[in-house]
Amino acid sequence: MFTLEDSELKTLIEDTLMSEHPLIKQAIAHEQAFRMSTAGELKELFEAVQKAIHDGIEAETCDPERYIANLKKKTLAKIELDIISANEFEKALKDYKPVAFNPAEGQCIYPLKSNKIAYELPAVKQFVLDTDFSKLFLDGQIPAGYQFQTTPQEITHLHCNPSNIYGDRKGVILKLALFETYFAITGKKFSDLDLSCSQKTKKWIDGTAMVHVAPLPQSLDLKTLRESNPAFPFLGNDELYYPHSGYVYGGDRYKARPDKSPELLPEDCTSDLEKQCPNPSTQKSFTLTTGDLTELRKRLMNIASPQSSTTGNNMEDTFEVVRHWEQDPTRYAKPGQIYGTSTHAAISLGVKSAGPKSTVALIGCARNYPQGPEGGRGIHVLPLNLESGMFFNYKGTSTAKLAQPDTNPQQNNKKSKPESKVVNR
């Protein structure tokens, strides 16, 4: 795994972050907007929990320490019940086949099928068990490794953040711990949160960078689950609310909340690229997956392929393959190109060539294998695949809309250019 002790690669990344390449600038802007929105929302949520605790202590006229101890027990009991319900939900969804969009009978969209609520809640329970609630909520001491304060000049380095929450599982754990505590006090659910919301729609879910929704199949039978745990916070009337850290398998191709700002949406590696690299002529649409990129490369290089004739269609006007890059990666592989393999794709920040140990720095959405299925939006570094890797030039100047998220006032600074540094605190 890459570390920032690699000074040559660190310098390469820092220099590239100052690039004027439109795809790199856009990716940095999206990462910054998502991170600053998350920080502002977590601050508001944390303060809302503190206020609810203060009001509860005053209403019950009890000792603060006793109130906090009872709250911790109440929160743990709620999480334990929610774990049971989350596992029941997984079982109910077991036979549904995931699709990217327009699910038919017996199908659901990928983010619903791949939701990690049942996976995350046991870790949330452990976080609550290990955390001193008095220090957290009465003294405002955030546990080590879970800092969420950030500045526009920083940038998320996925999978390598020992002291902050950005880009790995810790972000979801902290969010869920705060939400579950708030729900335990107030009795609320995601569907009726009273936190700051989108100025466009006046609905919190349209302005949050922390939670997204996935529609439930009409045929999905959740009657028993709803009756056994009416307070299960993740279920709405016809949708699932799922927390995220910027990454979700399948991405938001279904467009579950069309009014939501694009940089606040969870994506996977290729759904993110699909939105950032529209067809320059705007005449042909396409779905971009790693399979499509692989097939496009073969087609452009006249390599025979058994794939479906629809795979990689309508992409020739948008991408051109970089030929023979593996002969001299530092000469042919340039920042701003799309790098892809059979399992991942993102925008290249540059290549450090060292023969079989060559690496490629990327920016985009990625998951955190082999550590776990979580991930986020930011910088990540992978071994350069000299055999099946591929580079593409994007033919257009990206026209993907960068809407202004309006969740919190911290975002006024989100377009500041990052300083020439990568934060690894």
Cα(332)–Cα(141) distance, integer angstroms: 49
pLDDT of residue 171: 93
Cα(86)–Cα(92) distance, integer angstroms: 10
pLDDT in tens, 19-76: 899 999 999 999 999 999 999 999 999 999 999 999 999 998 889 999 999 999 999 9
Both tokens of 276, joined, read: 């950032």
Residue 414's pLDDT band (cuts 50, 70, 90)? very low
What 3-state DSSP class applies to 338? Answer: strand
What 3-state DSSP class applies to 366? Answer: strand
Phi-psi region of 364 (alpha: psi -120 to 50; beta: other; left: phi over 0): left
Residue 307's pLDDT band (cuts 50, 70, 90)? low
pLDDT of residue 55: 96
Mean pLDDT rounded to a whole number for the chain: 88
pLDDT of residue 354: 74
> In terms of pLDDT, which residue wins out, 371 or 215?
215
> In terms of pLDDT, which residue wins out, 192 or 200?
192
pLDDT in tens, 88-99: 999 999 999 999
Q: State the pTM of this model.
A: 0.90
Distance (Å) of CA 340 to CA 123, 162, 182, 292 = 32, 28, 42, 10
What 3-state DSSP class applies to 270? Answer: helix
pLDDT in tens, 154-172: 999 887 778 899 988 899 9
CB 407 within 8 A of CB 207: yes
Q: Which residues lie closer than 8 Å to 88 by C-beta, 6 or more apart?
A: 224, 225, 228
pLDDT in tens, 73-86: 999 999 999 999 99
DSSP string covering 120-144: HHHHHHHHHHHS-HIIIIIS--PPT
> In terms of pLDDT, which residue wins out, 277 or 314?
277
Q: Over 50: is that where the pLDDT of 10 sits? A: yes
Least confident of 133-147, 290-304, 336-350, 365-379: 365-379
Least confident of 13-17, 139-143, 246-250, 307-311: 307-311
pLDDT of residue 411: 40
Write down the domain spans for the chain: 12-20+272-398, 29-266
Average of per-residue pLDDT across 212-217: 97
Residue 9's pLDDT band (cuts 50, 70, 90)? confident
DSSP string covering 147-163: B----TT---BTT--SS
pLDDT of residue 400: 54
